[in-house]
Amino acid sequence: MSEPTGLRARKKERTRDAIGDAAVSLFLERGFDGVSVNDIAAAAEISKPTLFRYFPTKEDLVLHRFADHQGEAARVVRDRRSGIKPVTALHRHFRAGLDGYDPVTGLNDHPEVVAFHRLVFTTPSLAARLTRYQLEDEEALADALGEGIQARLQAAQVLAVQRVLARTNWQKIADGRTARDVHPEAVTDADQAFNQLR
Amino acid sequence: MSEPTGLRARKKERTRDAIGDAAVSLFLERGFDGVSVNDIAAAAEISKPTLFRYFPTKEDLVLHRFADHQGEAARVVRDRRSGIKPVTALHRHFRAGLDGYDPVTGLNDHPEVVAFHRLVFTTPSLAARLTRYQLEDEEALADALGEGIQARLQAAQVLAVQRVLARTNWQKIADGRTARDVHPEAVTDADQAFNQLR
DNA sequence: GTTACTCGGTTAAAAAAGCAACCCGGTCAA
DNA sequence: TTGACCGGGTTGCTTTTTTAACCGAGTAAC
């Protein structure tokens, strides 16, 4: 099933994970600006140049978790079964994320996850960089949807919807509610939003 | 206190330990000839050339634990306090090893240690290589003792004594007795042997 | 009696990592 | 105002590791 991973690939992935995990846990502990890249490199037991070989900027040390979902929307559209409309496929995918309490839907009450979201949303440079990721995502989705202004508009709207839904869910959880408790209204919100898109 | 270990040195040491540990545990499990160097490299998650960069031959994967004590006798003689005769210093050092149940004295009943000794003593190529290590050790000790045939003879005798004592202890433990039980007679054996050397 | 393994060990080239030194913009103090 | 740090990144050079291919000896199959 899984590709025949050589030693090289396996170790690279491990190093990447080690850096990312060390970074996030330090950030959650002392805040984005309270941690230097030197600290992270030391914690991950790698050198500074190596760190920057894996992550181009300090921000990416946080956002790689979003970056890993990069292009997901476009993929969902491309891989949909024939006869299914793009928006429907995206709707179902989001719904599945909700049911699985996927962190990207905002519907996850693990303390670490909610702290992580707070970190991202309350650190300006991170929020800024995040929107850049979302723009790239939007372009990819637009390409998957077709050409012309119609596709671009729809892509923008879909991602805007997802963004709002995720933030809404996260906000409710940040206010102290549990994911299971919020789940029903998250579903109806999503149904309503996606239905309006059609 | 401890040397300023850079990343490089730290990782090298870890890699070496990983290889050595993987090798020994596989050998104990399936015997020296039941394990290929490829198996060991795979278990240690390194490539075959890397393995041979750390250990020149397959035998050394086992014997590095002895190699780590290489030159110890010579060092004991050189570092003895003034007024102490070499044989006395070596005697006291061996006695201290006995009291600390140092594996090199054979007086250690940890299952892993006794299995390890059996592995070494019952695998011809290992036993052969081990005597080569002991010869080097002997030369170093001879140099520490002085020059001429006198020093060489004494070095050979001291190491022969230690070898016999260690094997005797190990044999008793291999027969099922505990190290603590064997300890008193190990001490009297050592006292007798070293006294005869003077 | 080839052929085709396996196993210990080596080689050459290329990828990756380490190290030290550096650039640039900020900040704080003399 | 200068000068000395510290922060995020970068640059070159060296060391380490992976990879794939190979050698030479043994050995089992046909």
For residue range B86-132, list pLDDT tens digits in order.
999 999 999 999 999 999 999 999 999 999 999 998 999 999 889 88
Range A32-37 contact pairs with CB under 8 angstroms and sequence separation of 24 or more: A32/A62, A32/A119, A32/A123, A32/A125, A32/A126, A33/A123, A37/A61
Q: What is the mean pLDDT of residues B67-84?
A: 93
Residue A27: the pLDDT is: 96
The answer to whether B46 faces chain A, any CB pair under 8 Å, is yes
Question: How far apart are alpha carbons B102 and B37 in whole angstroms?
Answer: 29
pLDDT at A4: 63
Q: Is B11 on the interface with A (CB under 8 A)?
A: yes
Q: pLDDT grade, residue B6 (50/70/90)?
A: confident
pLDDT digits (tens, 9 = 90+) for A103-148: 999 999 999 999 999 999 899 999 988 998 899 999 999 999 999 9
Distance A38 CA to C30 C1' (A): 29
Rounded average pLDDT over B58-83: 92
**According to the model, what pLDDT value does residue A70 have?**
87
In a domain, A2, yes or no: no
User: Which candidate, A151, A162, A46, places its Cα nearest to that of A104?
Assistant: A162
Residues of chain A in contact with residue B45, where contact means CB-CB under 8 angstroms, are 7, 10-11
For residues B143-160, average pLDDT: 94
Return the nearest residue to D11, CA–C1'. Answer: A49
- Domain coverage including residue B11: 7-57
- Does residue A16 reach within 7 angstroms of strand C, measured from its CB? no
Residues B112, B42, single domain; the answer is no
B30 lies in the same domain as B118: no
User: Is the domain of B42 the same as that of B138?
Assistant: no
Question: Is residue B1, in this structure, part of any structural domain at all?
Answer: no
**Chain B residue with Cα closest to A10:** B45
Query: In chain A, which residues have pLDDT < 70?
Result: 1-4
Q: What mean pLDDT value characterizes chain B?
A: 93
Q: Using the CB atom, is residue B149 less than 7 Å from strand C?
A: no
B chain contacts of residue A46, beta-carbon cutoff 8 Å: 7
Q: Could you identify the residue written with the tokens 């050092």?
A: B93
Residue B1 has pLDDT above 50, yes or no: no
Number of domains making up chain A: 2
H helix intervals, B35-85:
37-44, 48-54, 60-67, 72-78
Are residues A147 and A51 located together in one domain of the fold?
no
Q: Smallest Cα–Cα separation from B162: which of B131, B190, B192, B188? A: B190
Stated in angstroms, how far is A174 CA from C7 C1'? Answer: 61
Split at pLDDT 50, 70, 90, the class of B4 is low
Of A10, A11, A47, the CB nearest to B7: A47
* B44 to chain A, closest Cα gap in Å: 11
Interchain CB contact of B14 with A (< 8 Å): no
Q: Looking at the structure, tell me whether residues B43 and B117 fall in a common domain.
A: no
Q: Does residue A118 lie within any of the structural domains?
A: yes
Closest CA to A119 of A134, A129, A105, A132: A129
Q: Do B11 and A45 touch (CB under 8 A)?
A: yes
B52 shares its domain with B82? no
Do B40 and B88 belong to one domain? no
Same-domain status, A120 and A47? no
B11 and B93 inside one domain: no
Spatial separation of the C-alpha atoms in residues B134 and B87, rounded to whole Å: 18
Same domain, A97 and A138: yes
| Smallest Cα distance from A128 to chain B, Å | 34
